Structure 1
Amino acid sequence: MEENRTVVVEFELLGFPTSPQLQVILFLLFLMIYILTLTENLLIIFLVFCDHNLHKPMYFFISNFSAVEIGFTTAAVPKLLSGFLMAKTTISLNCCLTQLYLFFSFGTVEVVFLAIMSFDRYLAICKPLHYSSVMNTRLCTILVIFCWITGFLWIVVPITLVSQLTFCSPNVMNHFICDTSPLFALACVRSYTIEMICYSFTSTMILLCFVLTSTSYIFIIKTILMTSSTTGRRKAFSTCTSHLTVVAIFYGSLIFMYVRTANAEAALDLDKVIALFYSVVTPLINPLIYSLRNKDVIKAVKKAIQNKAK
Structure 2
Amino acid sequence: MSSQNASITLTEFVISGFNTTNSPVLVGVVILIIYIMALLANILNIFIIILDQKLHKPMYLLICNLAVVDILYTSSASPTLIRVLVAGVKTISYVPCLIQLFAFHLGGVMEVFALSVMAFDRLIAVSCPFHYHIYLTNSRILVLTYILWIISLGFAAVFPATVIPLSHCNALLKYAFCSYAAVVRTTCVNPEYYFNLSAIIIFFLTFFTFSFICLSYCGIVFFVRSLSNNDKKKIGSTCLSHLIVVICYYFPIFILSILTRFGVVLSLEEHNGLLIGTILGPCLVNPFVYCLRTKEIKNKIIRVFKHV
TM-score, normalised via structure 1 length: 0.88
Unaligned 5+ runs, structure 1 = none
Partner in structure 1 of residue 290 of structure 2: 290
Offset at residue 282 of structure 1 (A): 1.1
SS state of the match for residue 131, structure 2?
helix
Tell whether the 8 Å contact from 2:49 to 2:64 is kept in structure 1 after alignment: yes
SS state of the match for residue 12, structure 1?
strand
Counterpart Cα distance in 1 of 2:79 and 2:262: 26
Tell whether the 8 Å contact from 1:181 to 1:265 is kept in structure 2 after alignment: no
Partner in structure 2 of residue 218 of structure 1: 218
* CA offsets 1:276-308 (integer angstroms, 9 cap, x no match): 2210111000112234321111121133234x4
Partner in structure 2 of residue 254 of structure 1: 253
Partner in structure 2 of residue 300 of structure 1: 300
SS state of the match for residue 298, structure 2?
helix
Offset at residue 13 of structure 1 (A): 1.1
Offset at residue 31 of structure 1 (A): 1.3
Partner in structure 2 of residue 243 of structure 1: 242
Partner in structure 1 of residue 148 of structure 2: 147
* CA offsets 1:36-69 (integer angstroms, 9 cap, x no match): 1111111111111111221110001111110111
Partner in structure 2 of residue 94 of structure 1: 95
Partner in structure 2 of residue 164 of structure 1: 165
Partner in structure 1 of residue 279 of structure 2: 279
SS state of the match for residue 91, structure 1?
strand
SS state of the match for residue 189, structure 2?
coil
Counterpart Cα distance in 2 of 1:244 and 1:33: 22
Counterpart amino acid of residue 78 in structure 1: P
Counterpart Cα distance in 1 of 2:140 and 2:15: 43
Counterpart amino acid of residue 203 in structure 2: S
Mapping 1:186-225, distance limit 5 Å: 186-190=186-190, 192-225=192-225
Counterpart Cα distance in 1 of 2:252 and 2:137: 33
SS state of the match for residue 11, structure 1?
strand
Counterpart Cα distance in 1 of 2:277 and 2:224: 30
Partner in structure 2 of residue 270 of structure 1: 270
Q: 1:49 to 1:242 in 2, by over 3 A?
A: closer
Q: 1:19 to 1:212 in 2, by over 3 A?
A: closer
* CA offsets 1:229-271 (integer angstroms, 9 cap, x no match): x233234334433422321231122232333649888644322
Counterpart amino acid of residue 104 in structure 1: H
* CA offsets 1:195-227 (integer angstroms, 9 cap, x no match): 433332232222221111221122223333432
Q: 1:266 to 1:183 in 2, by over 3 A?
A: farther
* CA offsets 1:51-95 (integer angstroms, 9 cap, x no match): 122111000111111011111100010001011123350122322
TM-score, normalised via structure 2 length: 0.88
Tell whether the 8 Å contact from 1:195 to 1:262 is kept in structure 2 after alignment: no
2:227 aligned with 1:227, yes or no? yes
Counterpart amino acid of residue 160 in structure 2: I
The alignment covers a number of residue pairs equal to 301
Partner in structure 2 of residue 54 of structure 1: 55
Percent of counterpart pairs with the same letter?
Answer: 28
Unaligned 5+ runs, structure 2 = 1-6
Partner in structure 1 of residue 3 of structure 2: none
SS state of the match for residue 183, structure 1?
helix
Tell whether the 8 Å contact from 2:238 to 2:294 is kept in structure 1 after alignment: no
Q: 1:157 to 1:87 in 2, by over 3 A?
A: closer
Counterpart Cα distance in 2 of 1:145 and 1:39: 24
Q: 1:31 to 1:266 in 2, by over 3 A?
A: closer
Mapping 1:7-156, distance limit 5 Å: 8-17=10-19, 22-156=23-157
* CA offsets 1:134-169 (integer angstroms, 9 cap, x no match): 001221111111122111122212321121122213
Tell whether the 8 Å contact from 1:174 to 1:269 is kept in structure 2 after alignment: no
Offset at residue 99 of structure 1 (A): 0.6
Offset at residue 6 of structure 1 (A): 4.8
Q: 1:272 to 1:32 in 2, by over 3 A?
A: same
